[in-house]
Amino acid sequence: MKILIGGDSWGNGEWPQETNHRGIWQYFEEDGHEVMIKSIPGESNKNTISHMCDFINENYNHDFIFWFQSDPLRDLRPYDEFGTTINDYNDLLKQSEIILDKNYQELNNRTTSKIYCIGGCSKLNLELISKYNNLIPLIESATEFIIKDYQHPKLWHSDWLNVVDRFDLETIDLLLIDKRKQDSLSQIEKYREYFWPDGYHPNRKGHKVLYDFILNSLNIS
């Protein structure tokens, strides 16, 4: 099979990369499949979608395409709106949903290929994604799928955390709840088992859980 993997750093496997395991990418290769990586570590959904779809439209001959969804707020870099038009926690949630819908529309319309979507830094919005025929929600949340009792944060803290001082104390308190959930991946032993060594990306064991599910769900042999 020819496999294409897009998205952000979650599509590149275990981090830091000095640990030298490439997650589902490596598992596919070890099983004899040809893998093309179009994941860009640290990038926004908008940029990873553009990068991957450009490649698909120029070179498409893949059997399966997988896309890891990142933090939608990365699309707002350099975050000039934070503290101006975006003032509180509800504004952040609303913007995340608006941006995700734009992401899904772009991903759906830029190519006629079927794309299997996996929630990474942010969970898939199943209600929004269901509107788009070319998008197949495969795993709503990688963290919640790997760790059955884990609750993924509503907002994943990316580099926009650097401007958190633009918000009031009530918003910061709510963001801290999300941050504690995110940090627990590196602090709680039963979570660390799947997210060691960096505590924010699935390691080889976490990716194996995802990989086995992908194989069984799509009958890939």
| Domain with 136 in it | 2-218
Distance CA 109, CA 157 (A): 28
Domain containing residue 58: CATH number: 3.40.50
What is the rounded CA–CA span in Å between residue 128 and residue 190?
32
Count of the separate structural domains present in the chain: 1
- Name which of 15-24, 87-96, 97-106, 159-168 the model is least confident about: 15-24
pLDDT of residue 190: 94
pLDDT tens per residue, range 167-198:
999 999 999 999 999 999 999 999 999 999 99
How does residue 132 score in pLDDT terms, banded at 50, 70 and 90? very high
pLDDT (average), residues 16-20: 80
Q: pTM for this structure?
A: 0.96
Q: Does the structure show a pLDDT above 90 at 4? A: yes
Mean pLDDT of the chain: 96
| Averaged pLDDT, 20-24 | 93
In a 10 Å sphere around its CB, with 0-12 CB exposed, 13-18 middle and 19+ buried, how is residue 134 labelled? middle
In 3D space, the residue among 25, 44, 24 whose CA is nearest the CA of residue 103 turns out to be: 44
- Mean pLDDT, residues 201-209 taken together: 97
Write down the pLDDT at residue 17. Answer: 75
Helix pair angle (89-109, 45-59), 10° resolution: 0
Per the DSSP assignment, residues forming a β-bridge with 139 are: 118
The torsion angles phi and psi of 66, rounded to 5 degrees, stand at: -120, 140
What gap in Å lies between CA 9 and CA 167, rounded to an integer? 28
